[in-house]
């Protein structure tokens, strides 16, 4: 007497297309790994529908023996995968899902390639989900892809690494030293997921040779909100290209207590801190701001005070302007800050 398992394996091998597809599904539901060799063979079936059923069943059975055959099914470039044949795409997508369920890190490079290919007919989100399903062991493969990623792909890969939590921290910090600006920007952006732990490497990134990386690091430090980077961020205020990012970060960090910023008003080198202080709009900083314009005022500072919406600072700006021979006319300042606008 033939068992149900044997009958389904026979149907998978010798049945009609419909019988073969039904048998593949039944073997997955049966859950017996004795069916794995037959299902692996069925991955080469002439019918893509049968291949899809076999791939799905192998994902359910989770036998490592199926890894190579599943990878072979999606070995071609995704853009070549019969885009006009929904069954072919369905079979490849089923193989992608199965590879995630099997959890073998050998699948990571291929899954990453699919997830990044905007010309593929396959399910890119499904490939990304499969990578996540594989778990922390996938980080090394993603990090390798990140080291040579294009500007369009670096951000996605860095964010994917961050999704794995602690195992992704080291690779992202290492990526801050990559020769590619796009990779360094992506790493600096993704590190905001790690909170205060990422403070030190991001402070180092504030000194990067490229403006875009410094801006990304400043943004992440603002998201993190720790006060440790304050001095480094204040230095960025002196450069127009990084000023807005530094202001935004300082406001985010000190919006609830701007007092630690007041000391920077006492030096010409760091007096530009008046910008985040104005945007925060903390009442007990007004007198220090008035002293700062008297000591280190210039035309831009005067215009910013004059148009910021704080009467005391406007008065101080008028006094400074008159004393320095300017005709004082409020204009809304192109490059201004608004009191308490945070």
Q: Is residue 260 part of a domain?
A: no
Residue 17 sits in the same domain as residue 109: yes
Residue matched to tokens 């899902």: 97
Residue 49 sits in the same domain as residue 129: yes
Of 254, 284, 310, the last residue of a domain is 254
Q: Is residue 45 part of a domain?
A: yes
Residue 4 sits in the same domain as residue 127: yes
Is 190's pLDDT higher than 60? yes
Is 334's pLDDT higher than 60? no
Of 222, 254, 286, the last residue of a domain is 254
Lowest mean pLDDT: which of 75-84, 135-144, 248-257, 274-283?
Answer: 75-84
Using CA atoms, how far apart are residues 156 and 169, in angstroms rounded to an integer?
Answer: 15
For residue 308, the 8-state DSSP code is S
Residue 280 sits in the same domain as residue 250: no
Is 78's pLDDT higher than 70? no
Closest CA to 299 of 338, 335, 270: 335
pTM for the whole thing? 0.89
Write the CB contacts of 213 (distance below 8 Å, at least 6 apart in sequence).
176, 181, 184, 185, 188, 205
Give the per-residue pLDDT at 160.
Answer: 97
Residue 181 sits in the same domain as residue 224: yes
What would the pLDDT profile of 289-306 be if each residue is shown by its tens digit? Answer: 999 999 999 999 999 999
Residue 73 sits in the same domain as residue 151: no
Residue 117 sits in the same domain as residue 175: no
Give the per-residue pLDDT at 86.
Answer: 81
Determine the average pLDDT of the residues in 118-137.
94
Using CA atoms, how far apart are residues 268 and 100, in angstroms rounded to an integer?
Answer: 57
CA dihedral 128, 82, 9, 4 (to 10 degrees): 70
236: domain CATH number is 1.25.10.10
Q: 199, 218 in Cβ contact below 8 A?
A: no
Residue 3 sits in the same domain as residue 126: yes
Is 185's pLDDT higher than 50? yes
The token pair that represents 216 in the structure block: 């990304």
Write the CB contacts of 310 (distance below 8 Å, at least 6 apart in sequence).
278, 281, 286, 339
Using CA atoms, how far apart are residues 176 and 170, in angstroms rounded to an integer?
Answer: 10
Give the per-residue pLDDT at 335.
Answer: 58
Give the per-residue pLDDT at 330.
Answer: 66
Instruction: Provide the percentage of residues in the chain whose pLDDT is more than 70.
Output: 95
Residue matched to tokens 């530094």: 246
For residue 136, the 8-state DSSP code is G
Q: Is residue 267 part of a domain?
A: no
Using CA atoms, how far apart are residues 28 and 61, in angstroms rounded to an integer?
Answer: 7
What would the pLDDT profile of 8-67 be if each residue is shown by its tens digit? Answer: 999 999 999 999 999 999 999 999 999 999 999 999 999 999 999 999 999 999 999 999
The Cβ-side half-sphere exposure at 110, using a 13 Å CA radius, reads 24
Give the per-residue pLDDT at 105.
Answer: 97
Write the CB contacts of 52 (distance below 8 Å, at least 6 apart in sequence).
21, 87, 90, 91, 94
Q: 226, 250 in Cβ contact below 8 A?
A: no
Residue 125 has phi, psi (to 5 degrees) of: -65, -35
Residue 151 sits in the same domain as residue 130: no
Residue 236 sits in the same domain as residue 281: no
Give the per-residue pLDDT at 121.
Answer: 85
Give the per-residue pLDDT at 218.
Answer: 98
Instruction: Provide the percentage of residues in the chain whose pLDDT is more than 90.
Output: 88
Using CA atoms, how far apart are residues 239 and 165, in angstroms rounded to an integer?
Answer: 34
Lowest mean pLDDT: which of 53-67, 114-128, 167-181?
Answer: 114-128
What would the pLDDT profile of 104-118 be if each residue is shown by its tens digit? Answer: 999 999 999 999 998
Give the per-residue pLDDT at 87.
Answer: 84
Give the per-residue pLDDT at 120.
Answer: 86
For residue 31, the 8-state DSSP code is T
Is 331's pLDDT higher than 70? no
Of 254, 282, 301, the last residue of a domain is 254
Q: Is residue 266 part of a domain?
A: no
Residue matched to tokens 């998201």: 223
Closest CA to 7 of 25, 27, 21: 27
Q: Is residue 263 part of a domain?
A: no
Is 238's pLDDT higher than 80? yes
Q: At what angle do helices 181-190 and 166-175 cross, to 10 degrees?
A: 150
Residue 180 sits in the same domain as residue 107: no
What would the pLDDT profile of 319-330 be if each residue is shown by its tens digit? Answer: 999 999 888 776
Find the domain containing 291 and state its range: 272-342
What would the pLDDT profile of 26-43 be if each residue is shown by its tens digit? Answer: 999 999 999 999 999 999
Residue 18 sits in the same domain as residue 127: yes
Q: Is residue 196 part of a domain?
A: yes
What would the pLDDT profile of 243-264 be if each residue is shown by its tens digit? Answer: 999 999 999 999 999 999 999 9
* More confident of the two residues 221 and 79: 221
Give the per-residue pLDDT at 1.
Answer: 47
Give the per-residue pLDDT at 207.
Answer: 96
In the chain, how many domains are there? 3
* More confident of the two residues 182 and 328: 182
85 — pLDDT class (breaks 50, 70, 90): confident
Using CA atoms, how far apart are residues 90 and 321, in angstroms rounded to an integer?
Answer: 72
Q: 146, 107 in Cβ contact below 8 A?
A: no
Q: 70, 105 in Cβ contact below 8 A?
A: no
Give the per-residue pLDDT at 76.
Answer: 78
């Amino acid at each position: 007497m033939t068992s149900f398992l044997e009958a389904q394996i026979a149907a998978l091998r010798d049945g009609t297309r419909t019988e073969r597809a039904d048998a593949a599904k039944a073997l997955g539901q049966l859950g017996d790994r004795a069916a794995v060799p037959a299902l692996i063979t069925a991955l080469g079936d002439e019918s893509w529908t049968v291949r899809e059923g076999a791939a799905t069943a192998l994902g359910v059975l989770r036998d490592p023996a199926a890894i190579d055959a599943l990878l072979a099914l999606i070995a071609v470039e995704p853009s070549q995968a019969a885009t006009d044949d929904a069954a072919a795409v369905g079979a490849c997508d089923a193989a992608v899902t199965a590879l995630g369920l099997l959890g073998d890190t050998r699948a990571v490079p291929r899954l990453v390639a699919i997830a990044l290919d905007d010309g593929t007919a396959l399910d890119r989100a499904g490939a990304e989900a499969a990578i996540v399903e594989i778990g922390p062991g996938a980080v090394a493969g993603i990090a390798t892809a990140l080291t040579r990623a294009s500007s369009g792909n670096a951000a996605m890969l860095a964010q994917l690494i961050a999704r794995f939590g602690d195992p992704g921290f080291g690779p992202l910090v290492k990526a801050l030293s990559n020769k590619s600006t796009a990779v360094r920007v992506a790493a600096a952006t993704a590190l905001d997921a790690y909170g205060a732990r990422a403070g030190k490497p991001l402070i180092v990134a504030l000194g990067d040779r490229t403006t875009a990386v410094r801006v990304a690091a400043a943004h992440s430090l603002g998201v993190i909100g720790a006060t440790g980077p304050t001095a480094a961020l204040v230095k960025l205020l002196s450069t127009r290209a990084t000023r807005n990012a530094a202001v935004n970060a300082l406001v985010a960090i000190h919006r609830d207590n701007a007092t630690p910023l007041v000391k920077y008003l006492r030096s010409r080198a760091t007096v530009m801190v008046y910008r985040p202080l104005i945007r925060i709009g903390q009442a007990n900083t007004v007198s220090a701001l008035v002293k700062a314009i008297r000591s280190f005022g210039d035309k831009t500072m005067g215009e910013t005070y004059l148009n910021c919406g704080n009467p005391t600072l406007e008065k101080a700006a008028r006094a400074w302007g008159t004393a320095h021979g300017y005709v004082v006319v409020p204009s809304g300042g192109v490059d201004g800050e608004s009191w308490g606008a945070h």
